[in-house]
């Protein structure tokens, strides 16, 4: 009898945790590849470029969501997410995981998370007045993301709570490296009910030198029948004029997504000669059929600095059509145009007095799992 009793006791002990804690592990992802053509490319701005890109509508990614029911309305949460380029298989970012956080969520007291995650600016824009109803933004042409202070922050502590139609969130990143800084603080508030969503956020970033950049955004959206309307404003502003530290300037370039070809920024020396940047955006979407969605978005951006070299304006316009081939797979086509005014170049061009415009189109396929 003893061996049987020992076996039974061992099985009971092994299965005991399952009686009070239910865990789930979910693998998810997006694979997106597209052909993109743009005009006025190259240093002189007189070339054309046709290329395959590893993300047209969305950046390709795979991730793992983990949840564990701790009982009493309390859950443990964790997320790991990697971004990659579908055309080459190369990493899309220097961070292997663009999101890596763990936390606790209470049905009554909200969610508290720790690690690398989305900042409050990105949270409120994508959840409240996203540019398109079927995608928060178009990956290959995203002026709005250039104003979100890189969209994520490392070493972040974030707390989010819902109260009826209201949602509030706060974030703080203490920063861990004196030369580069990285300390952030911010908060957002949104209201969503009956098709209407309104929200705003404020966030700052403190450089290693002690200088600070402050950003805010405000906007809303409205859904009625097949229509989706959205509008928003945003601003980034440096305190105390232009940065001088090479380390700070490199970080600022990354925060303003200076390497992206169509992100609301300006090429040439004018890019970092500005101490204030502003954006206004207005968009509309229409669901023609359950499978076919159309969208259009207009962006106006402006930057200014202590000298005329930092002054520039730009108009970005994009139209897109998305067709659902199934619940997980869709095909899309997009057309966009960029128009510049002021003392600035298109990104990627260096010739003084270069072209003032660029046109592009993108055709791609996206699969979600």
Query: Hey, what are 320's tokens?
Result: 């897109």
Model pLDDT for residues 26-45, shown as the tens digit of each residue: 999 999 999 999 998 877 77
Enclosing domain of residue 98: 31-368
Q: Does the pLDDT at position 264 exceed 50?
A: no
In a domain, 15, yes or no: no
Q: Does the pLDDT at position 171 exceed 50?
A: yes
Residue 257, pLDDT score: 66
In this prediction, residues 222-247 reach a mean pLDDT of 92
DSSP state letters, 254-267 = HHTTTTSTTSS--B
In a domain, 342, yes or no: yes
CA distance 122 to 251: 18
In this prediction, residues 287-314 reach a mean pLDDT of 88
Model pLDDT for residues 211-229, shown as the tens digit of each residue: 899 999 999 999 999 999 9
* Higher pLDDT, residue 353 or 15: 353
Q: Does the pLDDT at position 298 exceed 60?
A: yes
For residue 232, name the pLDDT band (cuts at 50, 70, 90).
very high
∠ CA 313-189-320, nearest 5°, is 45
DSSP β-ladder status, 357-368 and 152-163:
unpaired
In a domain, 108, yes or no: yes
CATH of the domain at 149: 2.40.160.10
In a domain, 126, yes or no: yes
In a domain, 237, yes or no: yes
In this prediction, residues 99-109 reach a mean pLDDT of 96
* Higher pLDDT, residue 269 or 74: 74
Instruction: State how many domains the chain has.
Output: 1
- For the chain, give the percent of residues with pLDDT over 90: 63
SS3 325: coil
DSSP state letters, 264-277 = S--BSGGGGS-SEE
In a domain, 300, yes or no: yes
- For the chain, give the percent of residues with pLDDT over 70: 85
In this prediction, residues 247-265 reach a mean pLDDT of 65
In this prediction, residues 204-215 reach a mean pLDDT of 91
DSSP state letters, 164-228 = TTEEEEEEEE--SBTTTB-EEEEEEEEEEETTEEEEEEEEEEE-TTS-EEEEEEEEEEEEETTEE
Residue 319, pLDDT score: 96
In a domain, 24, yes or no: no
Report the range of poorest mean pLDDT among 8-12, 93-97, 120-124, 173-177: 8-12
In a domain, 6, yes or no: no
Residue 305, pLDDT score: 82
Residue 260, pLDDT score: 45
Residue 178, pLDDT score: 60
In this prediction, residues 182-207 reach a mean pLDDT of 96
Residue 159, pLDDT score: 99
Residue 12, pLDDT score: 46
Global pTM value: 0.87
Q: Does the pLDDT at position 291 exceed 50?
A: yes
In this prediction, residues 128-142 reach a mean pLDDT of 90
Task: Note whether 62 and 82 are within 8 A (CB).
Answer: yes
What Cα–Cα distance (Å) separates residue 242 from each residue in 29, 69, 266, 271, 313?
A: 40, 49, 16, 11, 18
Model pLDDT for residues 52-99, shown as the tens digit of each residue: 999 999 999 999 999 999 999 999 999 999 999 999 999 998 889 999
DSSP state letters, 15-80 = HHHHHH-EEEEEEEEEEEEEEEEEEEESTTS-EEEEEEES-SSS--EEEEEEEEEEETTEEEEEEE
CA distance 140 to 122: 17
């Amino acid at each position: 009898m003893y061996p049987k009793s020992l076996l039974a006791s061992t099985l009971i002990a092994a299965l005991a945790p399952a009686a009070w804690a239910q865990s789930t592990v979910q693998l998810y992802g997006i694979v997106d590849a597209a052909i993109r053509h743009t005009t006025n490319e190259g240093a002189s701005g007189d070339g054309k470029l046709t290329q395959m890109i590893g993300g047209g509508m969305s950046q390709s990614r795979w991730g793992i969501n983990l949840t564990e029911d701790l009982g009493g309305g309390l859950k443990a949460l964790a997320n790991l997410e990697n971004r990659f380029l579908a055309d080459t298989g190369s990493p899309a970012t220097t961070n292997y995981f663009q999101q890596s956080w763990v936390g606790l969520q209470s049905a009554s007291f909200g969610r508290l998370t720790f690690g690398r995650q989305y900042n409050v600016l990105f949270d409120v824009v994508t959840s409240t007045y996203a540019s398109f109803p079927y995608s928060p933004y178009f990956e290959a042409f995203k002026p709005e993301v250039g104003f979100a202070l890189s969209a994520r922050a490392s070493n972040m502590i974030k707390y989010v709570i819902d109260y009826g139609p209201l949602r509030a969130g706060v974030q703080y990143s203490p920063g861990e490296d004196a030369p580069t800084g990285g300390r952030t603080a911010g908060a957002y508030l949104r209201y969503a009910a009956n098709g209407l969503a309104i929200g705003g956020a404020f966030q700052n970033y403190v450089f290693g030198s002690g200088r600070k950049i402050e950003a805010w955004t405000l906007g809303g959206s409205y859904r009625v029948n097949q229509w989706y309307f959205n509008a928003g404003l945003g601003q980034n502003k440096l305190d105390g004029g232009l940065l001088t530290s090479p380390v700070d300037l490199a970080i600022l370039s990354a925060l303003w997504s200076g390497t992206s070809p169509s992100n609301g920024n300006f090429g040439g020396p004018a890019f970092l000669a500005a101490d204030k940047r502003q954006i206004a955006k207005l968009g509309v979407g229409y669901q023609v059929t359950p499978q076919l969605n159309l969208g259009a978005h207009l962006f106006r951006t402006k930057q200014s600095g202590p000298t005329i070299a930092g002054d520039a304006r730009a108009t970005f316009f994009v139209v897109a059509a998305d067709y659902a081939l199934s619940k997980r797979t869709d095909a899309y086509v997009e057309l966009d145009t960029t128009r510049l005014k002021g003392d600035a170049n298109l990104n990627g061009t260096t010739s003084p007095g270069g072209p003032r415009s660029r046109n592009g189109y993108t055709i791609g396929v996206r699969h979600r799992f």
